[in-house]
Structure 1
Amino acid sequence: MTPRRQQILSTAADLFAARGFHGVSMGDIGAAVGVSGPALYKHFAGKEDILGQCLLHASDQLLAGARELLSDGGARSAVGQPSPDGADAPLVALIARHADFALDNPALIVIQEREWGALGAETRTQVRKHQLAYIDVWTDALRPLRPDLAATEARAAVQAAFGLLNSTPHSARIGRATMRDLLTSMARSALLPRDR
Structure 2
Amino acid sequence: MEKLTADGRGGSKRRREILDVAVRLLAKHGYHGVSMDDIGAAASITGPALYHHFKGGKEQMLADALIPVSERLLAGGRHWASLHSDDPQAALEALVDFHLEVVIDSPEIVILHLHELDRLPEEPRREVRKLQRVYVEEWVGVLCRLRDGLKPEQARVLAHGAFGLMNSTPYLSLGQEVSADETAALLRAAALRALDPG
* Fold equivalence (TM over 0.5): yes
Is the CA contact (8 Å cut-off) linking 1:63 and 1:134 kept in structure 2?
A: yes
Find 1:188's aligned residue among 169, 188, 192: 192
Is the CA contact (8 Å cut-off) linking 1:26 and 1:47 kept in structure 2?
A: yes
Is the CA contact (8 Å cut-off) linking 2:88 and 2:142 kept in structure 1?
A: no
Evaluate the alpha carbon distance shift between residue 175 and residue 115 of structure 1 in structure 2; reply closer, same or farther with a 3 A threshold: same
CA shift at 1:193, angstroms?
Answer: 4.9
Q: How does 1:32-181 map to 2 (within 5 A)?
A: 32-44=42-54, 45-71=56-82, 73=83, 86-171=87-172, 173=174, 174-181=178-185
Deviations 1:45-66 (A, max 9, x none): 2111111221112111111122
Is the CA contact (8 Å cut-off) linking 2:30 and 2:116 kept in structure 1?
A: yes
CA shift at 1:100, angstroms?
Answer: 0.9
**Cα distance in structure 2, aligned partners of 1:105 and 1:153:** 29
TM-score using structure 1 length:
0.85
**Cα distance in structure 2, aligned partners of 1:92 and 1:126:** 27
Amino acid at match of 1:87: P
Deviations 1:90-122 (A, max 9, x none): 111010010011111111121222222322121
CA shift at 1:42, angstroms?
Answer: 2.6
Amino acid at match of 2:131: H
> 1:4 — aligned with what?
14
Deviations 1:14-42 (A, max 9, x none): 10011111111222222323322322223
**Cα distance in structure 2, aligned partners of 1:165 and 1:112:** 14
> 2:24 — aligned with what?
14
Amino acid at match of 1:19: H
Is the CA contact (8 Å cut-off) linking 1:145 and 1:193 kept in structure 2?
A: no
TM-score using structure 2 length:
0.84
What is the total number of aligned residue pairs between the two structures?
184
> 2:5 — aligned with what?
none
SS of alignment partner, residue 25 of structure 2: helix
> 1:82 — aligned with what?
none
**Cα distance in structure 2, aligned partners of 1:10 and 1:88:** 36
Amino acid at match of 2:195: L
**Cα distance in structure 1, aligned partners of 2:120 and 2:109:** 14
Q: Gaps (5+ residues) in structure 2? A: 1-9
Q: Gaps (5+ residues) in structure 1? A: 77-84
Q: Which moved more, 1:18-27 or 1:93-102?
A: 18-27
Amino acid at match of 1:163: G
